[in-house]
Structure 1
């Protein structure tokens, strides 16, 4: 080999090989780093879903036990028997219900005042234990006619058998309603869901429905907590089954129930669960969306909620 050829090889080919090896090493390192980040993101979003599920399960278990209480069932049976004995009594009570004085004068058996005090006490106790957060906004026990038997606080109407939640719970219990948004006494936004249970007597006969409005502030706090872990904003998002925002963690105020479809980017098979999806945003930067598979028996899965790590 001529000297000139050797010099050409030394000055051109060898640096090119070094350059190619460098590119390979960098790419391999980037792929490994991306894989590690995606694995960590998957673990984070799955952990958040599981914590939300445990939280909701704990809140609903309280009332599942209550619905099986013998005194509760006995109160419903007594109310149903009284209403069946006198034709038109249901409608009569419904007319009197909106007037506070007349409602207080209703005969014993229409409203179980002792049970109502117990419900109110439970709501207050849970608020105290949670540091002032009202975990349960309202608890209502209705008989087989849809009329109120006990309540944690006064309600506007007596009959609820025409309500969607009442009919759904009677047909398929338990029933958990859609996420709703309201305002508290300080005009602050409150996000909640209704948890409803069908109650049967010892013979399996339908006797009434229990409805509990659960404040989701604890759930929102969980999303915020995961978003801020490690001292940086991780971009945790929680959406309902209609792809509406429940919470964007750690990023100021969320427009609850606004359109969140931009966070749902399915993979080639059309699935979100267990998928890492990459796409280019308007600026050309790569955006990563991470989804985790919810346990099929979990409340989060049954509600169709989707947690996203962005």
Structure 2
């Protein structure tokens, strides 16, 4: 005897496969959506959400985007389902990778990708070397991405500047999912980078800061300069010289060489040190004063004493 039930057979997985007209995020009605431009997710219509809920797909949702004319492929996640029916909105860098124009037809298919273990990026500009901690910046920016595809040129924004990075390699496949994973990241030398030029430029900067006075590198003031004239006494007498430096003309005093400060190697983060020096120039010649005692002074009366006749 055989007993049949509704859950006897596993539900067959049916992929989501639709075609839409794609537009850049700048064409999306409403306010500007910088959060979409900075990541790797798209905006789809509400009907796509209804179709996806009826299918047995894997979460989080990952989609393969295909431009049938150029055979270019990339992968992405979905951010919202608020687009007009029949339209999807993509980040500008994603449309550039797929060689798509405004209103072009794109095929969107749901896929399942392996979890990333390794990725390698190559900056397209040497300006990326100015970032102090590039791995931390990249990690923060990749939170807006769901997956990576080998060969894509992604765009990240840091300090109001956009940096483009080419995805040279991903493991364990050409397309990987980067949600809740431990991924090792490496960077290749930027496009056009030459180590000799970079080292010589860095050495030149050190020479300037060590040997030259920063004030000498400032341009000479042009035009009116406030408080540059000399003062005159109303009685016609000459100004008395109060120090040896005043007796010599200012032009004869050579500029003191610039001396770098000595860093405090014992500094502890989170502490403030207030150093105050009350000693005067002639502190050695002064005799130590008596300790302060309160209310030790003499008193006076405002009334005058009457004279006795």
TM-score by length of 1: 0.22
Higher gyration radius (CA): 2
TM-score by length of 2: 0.22
